[in-house]
Chain A
């Protein structure tokens, strides 16, 4: 064959080689059948009521202790954001140390831009929004892991295998919600895992357990009698960043357009 033919053939072969193996997943009959059956009796779901959250930060403090994230490290599996919307329509947001110590000042911590003072008469509305891993049904973080260190369990929790993670950070970049970080001691990816060691024993997650105001609740979406499931099904709930197609499983009451 001449050079042109060879080039054409070469490009065809190389192009064919580029199809990722995951394409086979789409047409895997075994998996399609499995999905129809869907044996799992549990799908964990979380409910946050932003009316009830007062920003005390007990959840953040307890989470760090329970899940052995170093207390002084500036990373956290869960955090609370404060929103102060002024009368001119601007939204000011802060989360000092993730609200580990609550909110110790009425001034907003704007990091390098300093502390922002907002006069009471300028405040139109203000509220708190707790955040944690959404344990998405289409987790983009799992999709981008090159080695299979992060994965989703049958009951919907996304976990990280600390012995397998290579620390590339692609999952951290891939999460639209910013819930992932590098564990300062283990030097692998880390994130909220719905206190998997507790919910697997029938306990509640630590943050749900310690919240004095009932702003956080966890439930089983597959159980129609679960109080959380009832709220999610029957009341007006919202999720974060729905447009990304991640199908998050943390539902919010009182989520408004200002929430980032």
Chain B
């Protein structure tokens, strides 16, 4: 079987070489990078705009963003027919291709996030290394950790007030630079699709903007969701710690802070949801009105083949119902959580409907291709480009996050100077 044949069902007339080449992994890629950028923007909201209530989650989301970064590369490595040649994008980049420019933007973004984490945790690295060095008896693990943390300091052992202030300024600057870079990350993803004149569904100048808006939407939704989960974890930790220290805030005090932050952030979410859906509906209205050559086949794809995925799942489940949830009076944290989960599903469906939807019709405009995602893999290809490949991508950030949390503390250190 040729690549794509196993999961493509052709109907009527499709060019002989046409298959669904860009499958689930290409859907995962913009989804994961959207989450990366979203987590980053959230931490920037605290560091740049000083939204104090987000202090705790700022650190969490920055580390999570760093855990998500290599995972954002995973779908690409799983998709490439020659993954070991992937580094060529850095060595002979062809900048007339959006994918090549993407390589540079992505690396820059990675370095910004890594830099910001370094500045945030430098004092912790220095303290831990000093502690370990002071220990008279070190076992193997202690020695390994000493080396690790010493290297991580990058030789900058000065933790005076002056140095720590420099760290804070650097964090602010990196966070500020990072926001437009995060915008480019999604602008480029949109450009990758929007500039393909050969694809009648993808070709629109609106595509970069739609991608950015839906990335911001997914980012804010993820942040609200992780924030609520974080607060729940905090309540559990504090309840356990309150036995030793009764001065810690009670559940009621924590809860009121949480509700206020959640409701405030939901307002931003609704604004961007409105923007995102407006752009998508604008695109649809324009296509319907102008009815160019490709309209006949696109109409069949949008209103017949993909009706459920587009109108019920993406627009209904992912936009309309969250609107009702967020705008109806008496918004509670529980309702907000339901709304954000639905928004995230809606954003995933948007990526699906663009990537897979764009390949649901033939370039001949006379035939259809249906994507049958491989569920049970029976060879390397159906694993990499099937459900299990997608699950691997979803699980890995949590594995990495767990690993990272053993190196850097997530939920506040003993001295919360940052």
**Interface of A with B (CB < 8 Å)?**
3, 6-7, 10-11, 14-15, 18, 20-22, 73-76, 79, 81, 91-95, 97-98, 110-113, 140, 143-149, 164-170, 172-182, 184, 187-188, 244-245, 260
Contacts and interface: CB of A to CB of B under 8 A. Distances in A.
A147 B89 contact: yes
Contacts of B192: 170
Interface residues of B, number: 62
Contact of B10 (A7, A111, A147, A182): A111
A10 B21 CA distance: 38
B222 to A, nearest CB: 24
B155 interface: no
A260 B11 contact: no
Interface of B is mostly: loop
Interface string B5-27: 10001111111111101100000
Nearest to A112: B11
Nearest to B21: A169
A112 B10 contact: yes
Give the most central of B5, B16, B96, B180: most A CB within 10 Å.
B16
Given A81-B13, A140-B197, 10 more contacts: A6-B176, A74-B2, A74-B5, A79-B17, A95-B16, A97-B16, A147-B92, A164-B85, A168-B80, A168-B81
Interface of B: 1-5, 9-19, 21-22, 48, 76, 79-83, 85-86, 88-89, 91-103, 173, 176-177, 180-181, 184, 187, 192, 195-199, 362-367, 370
Give the most central of B94, B187, B192: most A CB within 10 Å.
B94
28 contacts: A6-B173, A6-B176, A20-B95, A74-B2, A79-B16, A93-B12, A95-B13, A95-B16, A111-B13, A111-B14, A111-B367, A112-B11, A146-B93, A146-B97, A147-B94, A147-B100, A149-B88, A164-B85, A169-B81, A170-B99, A173-B198, A175-B198, A176-B197, A179-B17, A181-B2, A184-B2, A245-B197, A260-B365
Contact of A11 (B21, B180, B365): B180
Given A75-B17, A146-B100, A7 B176 contact: yes
Contacts of A95: 13, 15-16
A165 B48 CA distance: 42
B249 to A, nearest CB: 31
Contacts of A81: 13
Contact of A10 (B5, B97, B100, B177): B177
Nearest to A18: B184
Contacts of A245: 197
B100 A173 contact: no
Contacts of A180: 17
